[in-house]
Chain A
Amino acid sequence: MKTVLKYIVRRGHLGLLLGAAISLMGLGSCIEKDAKIPPPEYSKRTSIICYLSPRNANVSVQLGFTVAYFGVQSDTISYYSDAKVTVSDLTAGTSVVLPFNKVDFVYRVGKNKMPILNDHQYRVDVVLADGRSYSASTQIPPKLGPTDLRLGKFSVGKVEQNQQFGQQVSVNVELKTGNTQKGFYYSPQFDVILKDSTGKFYGNTMFFKGSGVEEGLGSDTLRFFYQDRMWLQGGGAMGGGSAIDPMKFNSAEGTFWVFDKGYAESYNKFFEDIGNPFAEPILLYSNWSNGAVGTLGSFDWEEMTITP
C-alpha cells in the first residue's frame, strides 16, 4: 500500500486519488430528509367490518372511520357509538338491531338473537346519526362435509433448536379438498401445536392463502402443499431461548389441526389487504354502498385433528 501511495504522490497523481476519494464518499451517501412536498391529502371515510359465521358466538359489527396516515396521530379508537345497525336474515325474513357494546366498541348481539345459518342470505344496514347510510349483503357458505378435506402426504421431523429463531420443525404436508361450490372460496389452514413440560403452548399456523384461495372447483382439484420448516412460537421462547425438552414429534405430545375454510368473495378480497410488502399495493376493498370501506363477509370451517 505504501508503495502505491508513494507512486501516486511521486507521479503527481494525487489529484486523482483525492477525486476518487470524494467520489466514493458521494457514492456512499444515501440521504434521508423531510420531503419538500406535502403528504397526500385525506378525508376520513366510514369503515364497517362484519363477518358472519355459524362458528361465531356473536354477531358483531365494527363501525368507525379511517384516519389520515400522515400528520398528528392518536391512539384513541375511532368509532361511532350512536348509529343504528340492523342485521337481517333475508332468507328467513327476520332482523335484529344491534346495540353498541361499550367494552369492545362494537355493535353486537349473541347468536341466539340472530342465528347465522349456512346458505342463508344476510344484509346489514347502518344509519349514522347524521343520516348517512350504508348497506351490504352476503351469503353464508354451504356447510362443509367431513370428506371435504383430506390428508395426502404427511410427515414431520423432530423439533430442533435454532440459535437465531428458536424452535423449528420440518413439516411436509399435503391437503386435498373435496367438492366445493361455485361462488365461494376455500382455503385450508394447518396448525402445529406443542406443549412443553410446564404446560405452555408452542405453535404456528400455515395459511394456505394464495394457493388455497380458489373459487369453487371440483373434487381433488385443489391441492395444497407445504414442505419447509415451521418456527414454533408462543410460551415466550421465540427468537432464541432454551431448548424445550419434551417438545418432540413422533410422540403424543404434539397435535396438528387442519381446518378447511369456506368463505365469500367479499371476505377473500378484504383479506388480500393484509399484505406482502413486495407486492403491488392493494386498494382498500369494500362491498358497502355509499363509499364506506370494509367488508361484510361470511365464512365457515371444518376441522380435523391429527396426532402423530
Chain B
Amino acid sequence: MNFRKIVNGILLILCISLTVLDASAQNTAISKSTISGYLRDKSSGEMMGSVVVNAQVSGVRTTTNNYGFFSLTLIKGEGQWLQFRYPGLVTDSFYWSAKKDTTITVELAAVEQIAAVEIRSRKTTIADRADMSRIDIPVQQIKDIPALLGEKDVMKVIQLLPGVQKGGEGQAGIYVRGGGPDQNLIVLDEAIVYNANHLFGFFSLFNGDALRSVELVKGGFPSRYGGRLSSVIDLNMKEGNNKKFAGEVGIGLISSRAVFEGPIVKGKSSFMISGRRTYLDALAQPLIMAATEGANAGYFFYDFNAKANYILSEKDKLYVSGYFGRDKFYFNESTADTKFKTNFGWGNRTLTARWNHQINPKMFANASAIYSHYDLSINVLQKDANSDAFELNYKSDINDYGVKYDLDYRPNPKHMVRTGFSSINHQFSPSAVVLKVGSNFNLDRKMSVINTYESGIYVEDQWREGKWNFYPGLRISHYVVDQTQYLKPEPRMSFAYNLRKDIALKGSYALMNQYIHLLSSTGIGLPTDLWVPATTNVKPMQSQQWATGIAKDFRKGLSLSLEGYYKTMNHVITYKEGASFLLQDDFFDPSVSVNNKAWESQVTAGEGWSYGTEVFLQKQVGKLSGWIGYTLSWTQLQFDAVNNGVKYYAKYDRRHDASVVCIYRLSKLFTASMTWVYGTGNAITMPQGYLRGTGHYPTTLPEIWDPSNQAFNNEMIDYGKRNSFRMAAYHRMDIGLQFKKEKAHGTKTWELSVYNVYNRYNPFFYYGQGQYSDNGSLISRSLKQVTLFPFIPSVSWTYKFR
C-alpha cells in the first residue's frame, strides 16, 4: 500500500468535505449570521467545555468545545433567546438579534454564588446525544465520594461505572469491556500517561484538586482518539483563576496536598499549581529503625501539577501545563563491615504546550506540542569486607515527543466537524543494565533506543438531521518501526434515533488499533510491567466493537441507559507460560546491545472476545445524586502457547458487576455519601493437584546431568486449566461525611469516611497452607486467603480559601 497516495487521498477528501460544507453554508450566507465566542466560569474566568448553547426559538443547539469555544449560525434577523446551561452553574440567557455576525464572551456563575443548594441543571440529556458509551464525571463528585484512606482518586471513581472493572482489592488499574489495563488511553492535557499508578497500584496519579474535567469513553470512539483498544480517559487540568488568588490545602492520613491558583496578569493570564506528597515514610521511620536495628527504609510518592495560560488576543490563547510525579521505595542498611543500599523508583513526566486560534466565527484550531516520559529504575549496592562490591543499576524508560493539530468547524447548526492529525515519536529503552562486581566485571549494557513513529489523521462530524443524530468518523493510523510500516484505516460510527424527545435508540461501531503492548506477569500494575512497541514480529493489536442501546431521560435529572456490546480483539499478547520479567533471556548479556527485543521470545499472540450488557441509572442533579450501575459480561482469551491453545476466561472476566453511588447534600454545609460495589470473583489459576517423584538422589559430585535425578524428585504442580478457579465474590460498602464551615477567608471541611464499613474480608489472593505433624511431615493442606483492607476509618481536613 502506498502511504503517500492514501494520505493525499484523505487530505483531498477532507478538503472536499470542508469545501462542500462551507459552500452549503455560504449558499445561505445572505440570510444567516453567526454568533460565536467563549463560555467562562464567572468566578474563576476558566473556559468551560461541554456547555449547552440553545437557541430557543429555532430549537437548534450546540455545545462548547474543551476550550470553551462555541459557534452557532442562525437565520439573519430572526432574534433568538440563547440559553447556556451547565451542571453547577446558573443557567443564563440573553437575547441576540441575529442581525450580524457577533462575537461574545459569556460568564456563568456557580450555583453556590446564588445561594442555591442543589444543582438544578445538567448537560445535554443522554437521549439528545449521538454518541454512546461515554460518561462525564463531574470533578465535584470525585471529591464527594468516599475513598480508601481519604485519598480521592479519579480512577477509583471510574471503577464504579458500568463496563469498568477493577483488577484486585484496592487496585487503581481498570479493565474496560474485557480489555486489559494497557488498553486504556489515559491522556492528561493531551499527553499520554503510561503508568497511572502510585504505591504499586493502590492509588492513581490523579487527585481531583488539579482537575477541571474527566471523561470516560468505552465504546463508539470519536475518531480524534486512537492508539488504544478499550477506553479513553481524557483528563483536563484546571486553567487557574484569572480573577483572584485562591487555593486549597488538605491534610490526610497518608498525604497532604495543596493547590494554588491566581492571575498572573488579571483577566489575561493565570496559573495553577498543585502538589501532593505522602509521609508514610516519615511516620514509619522510627518503627522501621527499631525493627531492623538501624536500617533506613521507606516509601513515598509525590505529584506536582502546574498550568499557566495567557490570552494573547480575543482569538488566540496559549496554555502550558505539566505533570511530574514519582514513587520511590528505599532500603539502606549499614554495619561496620557491610553496606547495603537499594532503591526502586518510577515516575511520569508530561509537558504540553497549546495554542488556540479562532480562525473565523465558524472555525477554531488548536495546535499542541506534547512530551511524555515514564521510567523505572532499580539500584542495588552491596559491599562487605570479605567480598567484591556488587552494584546493579537497571533502567527502562519511554519518551514520547508529539505534535497534534485539531480543527473545529461548525458550518451550520446541523454539523460539528472536527478534523486533524497527530504524530508521536515513541522512544523505548526497554532495559539498560550496569553491573559491577568488584574489579572483575564491569558490564555497561546501554540499550540502543527503539524509535517508533505513530501518526493519525482523522475527520468526524456530529450531524443532526431531524430525529437522527449521526456521528461518523474515520481515522487513518500509521506506524513505523524499523523497516516495517503499518497503515490501518479505522472507521467509526455512532448514531441515535429519537423515538420521542426523551427516548433514543443508539448504535455504534469502532475499529481501533494499538501499537504498544504492556507485558505484565502479575496483572496488578506493578512498575516492572514492561511497555514494548509493536514490531515486525509482534503485530499491533486490533479491536472491533459493536454496541447498541437505548437511552431514556426522566424528570428531575434522572437518566437511564441500557447498552449491549460485542468486542473482538486480535494480536493481543501475553507472556508465555513460565515466562516473566525476571526471565529476560539476555538480561546480563553484553553481546546484546542493539535493538534488544528479547521479550519477543517470551510472548505469545492471541485473540480475545468480550460481550455483555450494561445498565446505568444516573441522577446528576438535586439533593440526592449518584448512580446505579450493573454489568453482565463475559471475557475470553485464546493463545496458542497458553492453556494448550484452548480458550479460557480472562482473569478479569466478571459475570456480575454492580455499583451504587449516592451523594446526599443535606445542606450547603453537610454532605453524606455512600458507595456499594459487588463483583464476581476473579478467575485465577490455582494448584489443584501434583505429581511427586519416587526418589532418586544423586550421591556424588560432579552431579552428572541426569534428568531422572531431577524430575523424579520434584513435586510438579497440576494447575488444571488456566483460570479455572473463581475467587470469592467481592463486595464492600464505603461511607463518607463532609462537614463544612464558612470562615472569614474560606471554607473549612472535615471529612470522615469509612472504607469497607461492614468489614467484609475480600480476598486479595489465596494460597495453600500446610499443616504438619510433630515429626514434620505434611498431613493436610488448606486454602487460605489474604485480605488487605478490612474496616478502615479515616479523617481528613481541607481548607479552601478565597
Contacts and interface: CB of A to CB of B under 8 A. Distances in A.
Interface stretch (A2-10, A39-47, A113-121): A39-47
Contacts of B337: 163
A170 B440 contact: yes
Given A228-B588, A280-B577, A281-B719, A72 B388 contact: no
A155 B768 CA distance: 44
B691 A64 contact: yes
A56 interface: yes
B774 interface: no
Interface string B676-702: 000000000111111111111000111
A183 to B, nearest CB: 18
Contacts of B581: 278
A31 B453 CA distance: 47
B783 A70 contact: yes
Contacts of B786: 30-32
A34 B785 contact: yes
A301 B694 CA distance: 24
B705 A301 contact: yes
Contacts of A32: 784-787
B707 A193 contact: no
A276 B702 contact: no
A31 B386 contact: no
A135 B149 CA distance: 59
B795 A234 contact: no
A255 B702 CA distance: 10
Interface of A: 15-16, 19-20, 22-24, 26-27, 29-42, 44-45, 47, 49, 51, 55-56, 60, 62, 64-73, 75, 77-79, 104-106, 155, 157, 160-163, 168, 170, 172, 189, 191, 193, 201, 203, 205, 210-211, 223, 225-229, 234, 255, 257, 259, 261, 267, 270-276, 278-284, 293-294, 297, 299, 301
Listed from nearest, the 10 A-B pairs whose CB atoms lie closest are A26-B792, A19-B795, A201-B701, A279-B580, A39-B783, A47-B691, A282-B577, A105-B694, A35-B783, A69-B687
Interface stretch (B85-93, B509-517, B656-664, B722-730): B722-730
A39 B786 CA distance: 15
Given A211-B586, A280-B580, A40 B724 contact: yes
A64 B694 contact: yes
A67 B690 contact: yes
A59 B504 CA distance: 74
Nearest to A200: B701
A203 B577 contact: no
B335 to A, nearest CB: 10
Contacts of A226: 588
B644 to A, nearest CB: 6
Contacts of A211: 585-586, 589
B724 A293 contact: no
Contacts of B583: 210, 276, 279
A276 B575 CA distance: 13
B766 to A, nearest CB: 6
Contacts of B384: 162-163
B689 to A, nearest CB: 4
Interface of B: 149, 253-254, 283, 337-338, 384, 386-388, 390, 435, 437-438, 440-441, 443, 521-522, 574-583, 585-586, 588-591, 642-644, 685-696, 700-703, 705-708, 710-712, 714, 716-722, 724-728, 752, 761, 763, 766, 768, 770, 777-795, 797
A273 B590 CA distance: 28
B705 A227 contact: no
A190 to B, nearest CB: 11
A293 B691 CA distance: 9
A191 B702 contact: yes
Contacts of A280: 521, 574-580, 642
Nearest to A192: B702
29 contacts: A20-B253, A20-B795, A23-B794, A26-B790, A26-B791, A33-B761, A33-B787, A34-B785, A35-B763, A37-B783, A39-B768, A56-B708, A67-B689, A68-B689, A69-B687, A69-B690, A69-B781, A73-B780, A106-B694, A162-B384, A168-B387, A203-B702, A210-B583, A229-B388, A273-B717, A274-B710, A276-B578, A279-B583, A293-B691
A279 B521 contact: yes
A278 B686 contact: no
Contact of B716 (A75, A225, A284, A299): A284
Interface-centre pick from B388, B435, B791 (highest chain A CB count, 10 A): B388
A110 B54 CA distance: 93
Given A33-B784, A35-B784, A70 B768 contact: yes
A259 B687 contact: no
A228 B692 contact: no
Contact of B761 (A27, A31, A79, A210): A31
Given A67-B691, A162-B384, A172-B440, 5 more contacts: A49-B693, A203-B702, A203-B703, A272-B577, A276-B583
B694 A77 contact: yes
Contacts of B707: 51, 267, 271, 297, 299
A203 B694 CA distance: 25
Given A27-B149, A35-B728, A67-B689, A274 B714 contact: yes
A201 B589 CA distance: 30
B702 A71 contact: no
A106 B693 CA distance: 10
Given A225-B591, A279-B521, A279-B578, A69 B718 contact: yes
Nearest to B707: A51
Nearest to B710: A274
B577 A281 contact: yes
A69 B685 CA distance: 13
A7 to B, nearest CB: 14
Given A229-B437, A272-B577, A23 B694 contact: no
Contacts of B726: 37
A23 B577 contact: no
Contacts of A49: 691, 693, 711-712
Contacts of B725: 40
Contacts of A60: 708
Contacts of B708: 51, 56, 60
B689 A69 contact: yes
B356 to A, nearest CB: 44
A45 B716 CA distance: 13
B784 A34 contact: yes
A225 B590 contact: yes
B12 to A, nearest CB: 49
Contact of A283 (B579, B644, B778, B797): B644
A225 B707 CA distance: 23
A210 B575 contact: no
Nearest to A48: B691
Contacts of B770: 73
A280 B794 CA distance: 37
A65 B691 CA distance: 7
- Looking at B390, B702, B710, which has the most chain A CB atoms within 10 Å of its CB? B702
A227 B441 contact: yes
A71 B695 CA distance: 23
B688 A40 contact: yes
Contacts of B768: 39, 69-70
Nearest to A18: B795
B538 to A, nearest CB: 17
A65 B716 CA distance: 12
B651 to A, nearest CB: 11
A55 B709 CA distance: 13
Contact of B782 (A23, A39, A161): A39
Given A223-B591, A282-B719, A73 B779 contact: yes
Contacts of A163: 337-338, 384, 386
A44 B208 CA distance: 54
A77 B795 contact: no
Contacts of A40: 686-688, 720, 724-725
A56 B441 CA distance: 39
Nearest to B724: A40
A229 B390 contact: yes
